[in-house]
Structure formats: C-alpha cells, structure tokens
C-alpha cells in the first residue's frame, strides 16, 4: 500500500523521499513553480510553489509529505501571493516579452497568464544587466534572469562543469560564468550541455535560430502551463 496525502481534497500517493510537488506532478496535479525541475535537486528559492500545510505556508518543492497530510494549494490567497511574486520577478529584471525569442515558450510568462497577472503592479527596477554574445552558439541575455539556479544545478550536477553560479548578495545577486574574463566564450560551455536547455525564461538562447516557431503556435500558446504539469513536456514540444 502506498502512502497518500491530500492536495485540495484530492488523494495523492507518494513514495518515500519524494517532495510534495513531485508527488503532485506525478499524479497529474499542477502546482505553480519556477525553480523546481523534476530532474534536479530541490532549491526552494522562487517560492511560487508555496502551499499551506496545517496552517503554515511552506515551499512544496522542499517539503516531503507525511501520511495523511492535508495540503492546500489552489486557494485565492495563495494564488494572489503567487501573482505578487511573479510581478516581483517581472519588475526586478527587464522583460520585454514582445521582442523576446522565448515568448510563448517562457515559464515566467506562462505562469503570469495562469495566475491572471494583468500588470506588473510594482515600479520597475530597470536594472543594468549585460548581454553576453561572445559564444559562437549561445547567447546570454541576463536581463531576463530570475535567479532560479536551474542552469547552475544542471551544469554542476549533470554536465560536471560549473559553468554558471550565482554571485553577489541581495538585490545585487546575479549570474556569473566560469571564466576570468566573465565571458561565456571563455568557458567550456557547449550547446549539448544540459545547462543549455533548462532556463525557464529567455536567458540562455541558441544563436542563428530566431523565431523558428511563429508566435501563436508556441508551447504555451497551444495550452496553458497547468495543462503540461511537468515542465519537461514544455521542452519536448519545441
């Protein structure tokens, strides 16, 4: 007999060692998330996946369920707070969706749609962030980085390379690459790296291939993000 917990009243089976979000996604239930990825170690920084467990709010990507645990996710309050977090991520960087190659394939954008975000609400920070076009095959547009560390984990844990890392503190936190020059071209990054294919937004982009799929026919144009459940499916489409 497998153990179960309930998510918004639905019974979800889980295996030992799974987190709440893993079990929920496996069972076909979507909980909004950005820094979680089923193939990588939990990180727990974006806080989009926050749920309520016995009155306390906690990230569902880092907490392991217990037998009979009661978890709430689709509440008005939680979705309002998730919307606010999404707005924060938008104003913190520079996101010009209409001109972004990732538009329609972007999890941040799709999550914003899902949560009914109509404006960015907060004043924009308009940070000065660089664009690194040094590499032959890939471009880094750091304007869009949401600091989810997926590329960091992919490069370290899968590629065994440590091409990316977070640096700085607080509002100055930013992505760096593993080269004295600070340029992607001077790292051992390659287009076949796992890290080249995990960015949920439009930072790590392939060059020489622009708008191959027209806007309107992209991943989240076809179905909203909650229909995919597992973020890997989004990538299989493209």
Partner 1 sequence: MGSPDTACASYLDPILERYGYRSVNLLQILREAQESFGYIHPDAVDYLMLKLDIPRTKIEGVASFYSFLHLEPRGKYRVLFSDNITDRMLGSQALMERMCRNLWAEAGKITEDGLLSVDTTSCTGMCDQGPALLLNNIALTRLTEQRVDDICSLIRQQVPLHAWPTEFFQVTDNIHRKDLLLSEGFVPGAALEAALHRGAAGMLAELEASGLRGRGGAGFTTAVKWKSCRNAPGEQHYVVCNADEGEPGTFKDRVLLNSYADKVFEGMTLCGYVIGAKQGILYLRGEYRYLLDKLNAVLTRRRAQNLLGKNILGQPWFDFDITIHLGAGAYICGEESALLESLEGKRGTPRNRPPFPVTHGYLNQPTVVNNVETFAATCHIATAGGACYADIGTAKSTGTKIMSVSGDCARPGIYEYPFGVSVRQVLEDCGATHTQAVQVSGPSGVTVAAHEFDRQIGFEDLPTAGAFMVFDRNRDLFEVARNFVHFFAHESCGFCTPCRVGTSLLRNLMDKLHNGHGSPYDIKEIENLNQLLLSMSHCGLGHTACNPVLNTIVKFRPAYEARMLHQEFTPAFDLDWSLQAARQMTGRDDNLAHLSNTEPLP
- The residues that touch ligand SF4, with contacts defined as CB under 6 A, are 145-151, 164, 175, 198-199, 201, 203-204
The option from ligand FES, ligand SF4, partner 1, none interacting with 208 (CB < 5 to 8 A, set by class) reads none
Q: Are 85 and 120 in contact (CB under 8 A)?
A: no
The whole-angstrom separation of Cα 5 and Cα 13 is: 7
Q: Applying CB under 6 A, does 95 fall inside the site for ligand FES?
A: no
Q: Applying CB under 8 A, does 42 fall inside the site for partner 1?
A: yes
Query: Which residue's CB is nearer to ligand SF4, number 115 or number 146?
Result: 146
The option from ligand SF4, ligand FES, partner 1, none interacting with 23 (CB < 5 to 8 A, set by class) reads none
Which of residues 7, 25, 53, 59 is near partner 1 by CB under 8 A? Answer: 59
Query: Which residue's CB is nearer to ligand FES, number 51 or number 100?
Result: 51
Q: Applying CB under 8 A, does 185 fall inside the site for partner 1?
A: no
Q: How many helices (H) and strands (E) does the chain have?
A: 6, 10
Closest CB 227 distance from partner 1, rounded Å: 24
DSSP, collapsed to helix, strand or coil, labels residue 144 as: helix
Query: Which residue's CB is nearer to ligand SF4, number 71 or number 177?
Result: 177
Q: Applying CB under 8 A, does 62 fall inside the site for partner 1?
A: yes
Beta-strand runs (E) in 28-95: 50-53, 56-59, 70-72
The whole-angstrom separation of Cα 121 and Cα 153 is: 31
Q: Applying CB under 8 A, does 67 fall inside the site for partner 1?
A: no
Closest CB 115 distance from partner 1, rounded Å: 14
Give the 3-state secondary structure of 184-221.
HHHCCCCCCCHHHHCCCCCCEEECCCCCCCCCCCCHHH
Q: Are 73 and 8 in contact (CB under 8 A)?
A: yes
Q: What does the per-residue mask of binding to ligand FES show for 55-94, with x meaning CB under 6 A?
A: ----x-x---------------------------------
Q: Applying CB under 8 A, does 176 fall inside the site for partner 1?
A: yes
| Other Cβ atoms within 10 Å of 216 Cβ, number | 8
Q: Burial of 221 by CB count in 10 Å (0-12 exposed, 13-18 middle, 19+ buried)?
A: middle
Start-end of H helices in the chain: 20-26, 76-92, 107-114, 150-153, 219-222, 231-237
Which of residues 8, 26, 29, 47 is near ligand FES by CB under 6 A? Answer: 47
Near ligand FES in 105-124, by CB under 6 A: none
- Bridge-based pairing of strands 50-53 and 204-206 is unpaired
What number of chain residues touch partner 1 (CB under 8 A)? Answer: 39
Give the residues lining the site for ligand FES (CB under 6 A): 33-36, 44-49, 59, 61
């Amino acid at each position: 007999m497998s153990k179960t917990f309930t998510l918004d009243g639905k019974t979800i089976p889980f295996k030992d060692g799974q987190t709440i979000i893993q079990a929920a996604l496996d069972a076909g239930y979507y909980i909004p998330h950005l820094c979680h990825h089923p193939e990588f170690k939990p990180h727990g920084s974006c806080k989009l996946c926050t749920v309520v467990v016995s009155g306390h709010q906690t990230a569902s990507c880092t907490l392991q369920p217990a037998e009979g645990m009661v978890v709430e996710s689709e509440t008005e309050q939680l979705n309002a707070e998730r919307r606010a977090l999404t707005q924060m991520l938008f104003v913190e960087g520079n996101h010009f969706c209409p001109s972004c190659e990732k538009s329609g394939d972007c999890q941040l954008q799709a999550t914003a749609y899902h949560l009914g975000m109509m404006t960015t609400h907060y004043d924009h920070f308009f940070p000065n962030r660089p664009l690194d076009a040094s590499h032959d095959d890939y471009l880094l547009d750091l304007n869009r980085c949401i600091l989810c560390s997926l590329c960091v984990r992919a490069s370290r844990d899968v590629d065994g390379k440590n091409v990316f890392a977070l640096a700085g503190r607080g509002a100055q936190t930013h992505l760096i690459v593993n080269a004295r020059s600070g340029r992607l071209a001077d790292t051992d990054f390659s287009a076949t790296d796992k890290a080249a294919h995990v960015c949920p937004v439009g930072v790590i982009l392939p060059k020489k291939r622009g708008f191959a799929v027209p806007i309107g026919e992209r991943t989240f144009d076809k179905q909203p993000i909650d229909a995919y459940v597992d973020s890997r499916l989004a990538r299989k489409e493209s």
